[in-house]
Chain A
């Protein structure tokens, strides 16, 4: 009964790359997916993982950025922005990671015939998703009103940085801009210094997840009532919702976050935990996080350290006093952590009942992390150009359904014939004509 990852890793050899009926809660759901970039691709990835036929609609004159970014097997050391001048769109690892389990078609939407073909594809689908700048879908005539003519109870999921209405609807954004505008960057850093913010496009992930949730809510709603819906997700608004209670501190207590002791770095104001920080470990740039929330946890930490004399300092005699004297406290604790390996400290403190974790990286997750291994979180799929690669799986195990990882990301237009002949019902000669005229690219 307990969910188990025993079905992983996935063996692809039995079915290769030919599309097949999917399994999972969303099997039978067909999505005409105009999403692109990381944030768009992630939003529909969950649907594809759990059985939906997600048809990624691409064009050869607008190559998806994750196809171009140089995250390549065996590549030299370089930043992701350091693109090749004419990159091979099939080589991109980021695209592979984001678009597994999806079908891929290529349509030239600049041509009237291309837009007609897109409408025919939409007419055989029941969900349409997109994350272009507001106005792009309208320019192609693909308004919610038009989609309802094609599919009366369509679900039309739209996501953008600022939402589809309001004076800043056309503002441009990507993850770090969303994090800045929503307040998430400002609240992160050491007091009195430039904010350290985020080392990733956190809001690409989170806006995508809320878009996935919105899509699932719409699917549930249609299951209950038979009715479709348009969905508007603003990444900035999703980000503001993630600020949490400190937004209420500003609203209710009129407490400004523009004050000299804010943000608190790794220290915690509420509750007054101490020690609460990230401490040096043996090795270059290696660290361990330790968090002590009450006297019991402090006593266990002291016991784990072997009750050194400094822990008896009256300044460290209560939680509030420790919180008031974090500079000397952190100094003592750092002297102890500095000579130990980060995982050694983690295991020793956890065995004593103290909250602690090594500051891990992707190599640790992949090679030594016991949870990632036990849960089968990372799994392997083959790809015709890239070869076998690891993928980030789903972070939950369910007893009544499992993800259906059937294939790595589609090559450009890999499923044109399958989708347009099987789903749309084009005859062979009609299909050939569209290919010849460059409508199907």
Chain B
């Protein structure tokens, strides 16, 4: 393992990963490793991975080379065609695996059985091999063969129950962006790194069995503690913490029709005074400047009145002004950005967060940069996702 720059390259330099992934959880895991320098050999069937047929597509043209999900999750990987159901494809898989440190698999138990592929036997044959399995419910347990999706996974975990509207005639609403798969992939990534640290110490690889259901079930923040301790089930509220009892709304509509998030907390003196001084700049503090409101009890007794005045104060301003002016006064206000707004954000621009990638046939496409920055080595340049079968298979093992 040696890299080309003075730092020795990023942490996964020299690491070879074979990826059998057909959902965003597995593909994200492989990408996070590729982003840190690993060589990721993505094996796809002759028709391409499932993500190649998932939209949206660039130019809205359903084409396996234009799938935006495929682009998003598969940068910096090599695409190798291998159909594991055929002897030839199986030979390609075995040759690839012979040179690999890590096998990453999203094959469900029923798929493993159909392919007669036993993950534990792969490890038994090569004890230094790390096999990371990421599946909807894990490889064992009564639900191991249950089918899932992002929505179904979020539902079973408890996370969906926490999200939605105050009006409970409306069902819980799925938070956007395939977060069920993202949580699973994030844990699979951490588990892979732990397995690599362990192998660095003991020389031993092994099988790591990651369950999306379990990963989501421990990513519900307060809901499990509220059950473990006082014994309450939390109830969903519009875009704020699900709680055992209702709390005040936290979205404020601004004059430009956009929202800001601001939890009006009356118990603390300093932010209260900052808020009133701010409102006074537009002559909208009214009697909130009165000494009576310096008393927490008085404020709490007049919560609805205060909330009303703050609603008016935000409604006469645009959302960007509210966001920046509030933050300048030390108030934790967040603007509800749309994804397309982010490219123009001065802070993200100053940090050069978005990275330009030359996308053949399209031009420059800006992707989000890595979630972490290291002083010890420069980031790995992002490469566009590969065309199907762009990499030649590794030759047969000796």
Contact = CB atoms under 8 A, between A and B. Distances in A.
A229 B374 CA distance: 6
B196 A398 contact: no
Contacts of B372: 210-211, 213-214, 217, 231-233
Interface in A362-393: 362-366, 369-375, 377-378, 386, 389-393
A326 interface: no
Interface stretch (B148-156, B285-293, B388-396): B148-156
A197 interface: yes
A378 B337 CA distance: 36
Interface stretch (B40-48, B87-95, B138-146, B303-311): B138-146
A234 B370 CA distance: 10
B225 A220 contact: no
A199 B175 CA distance: 9
B337 A287 contact: no
Contacts of B176: 184, 187-188, 246, 263
A420 interface: no
A200 B242 contact: yes
Nearest to B142: A370
Interface in A1-47: 1-4, 25-26, 38, 46
A431 interface: no
B272 interface: no
Most B C-beta atoms less than 10 A away, residue of A78, A182, A361, A401:
A361
Interface residues on chain A, size class: 35 or more
Contacts, number: 550
A353 to B, nearest CB: 7
Given A176-B239, A199-B241, A375-B214, A245 B68 contact: yes
A120 interface: no
B304 to A, nearest CB: 16
Interface string A157-198: 000001101111101111111111111111111100111111
Interface residues of B, number: 168
Contacts of A185: 239, 261, 336
A360 B374 contact: no
B350 A165 contact: yes
B198 A400 contact: yes
A200 B339 contact: no
Contacts of B250: 176
A390 B210 CA distance: 21
Contacts of B178: 244
Given A97-B225, A371-B142, A217 B11 contact: yes
A245 B261 CA distance: 25
Nearest to B149: A291
B317 interface: no
A74 interface: yes
Contact of A396 (B149, B158, B187): B187
B182 interface: yes
B159 A168 contact: no
A218 B372 CA distance: 11
B99 to A, nearest CB: 19
19 contacts: A46-B190, A172-B327, A177-B333, A177-B334, A183-B342, A188-B174, A196-B173, A199-B241, A209-B186, A258-B340, A269-B55, A355-B148, A357-B153, A360-B157, A364-B158, A373-B141, A391-B228, A395-B214, A398-B191
